[in-house]
Structure 1
Amino acid sequence: MFYWKEKGEDASIEAAVTAISRCLRDPTGTNNCSEVL
């Protein structure tokens, strides 16, 4: 919620889409999507 207030709705949505895209490209395993940027 704080990120949204500070960066705005558009930037928040873009960051979420980027994170999901990176996560989906990770190899499947126990550490899949474990890195937070």
Structure 2
Amino acid sequence: MTDNFERNIDLKLILSIIATGLMSFTGVVIETSMNNSFVYF
């Protein structure tokens, strides 16, 4: 018994995942730059 299921991924889902990843990465970069600025100044 072999059933082939085709899964459709919505474009909004892909864009929301990419946006969440970018926001997380940006938060890490901002946090790192703030730590460096507090240490050096």
State the TM-score, normalized to the length of structure 2: 0.46
Q: Post-superposition shift, 1:6?
A: 3.8
Q: Structure 1: how far apart are the matches of 2:22 and 2:10? A: 19
Dislocated runs of 4+, deviation >6 Å: none
Q: Post-superposition shift, 1:19?
A: 0.3
Select the structure that is richer in helix.
Answer: 2
Q: How many residues align?
A: 24
- 1:14 alignment partner in structure 2: 16
Pick aligned residue for 1:26 from 7, 10, 28: 28
CA RMSD of aligned residues (A): 2.2
Percent identity for Structure 1 against Structure 2: 4
Higher radius of gyration, 1 or 2: 2
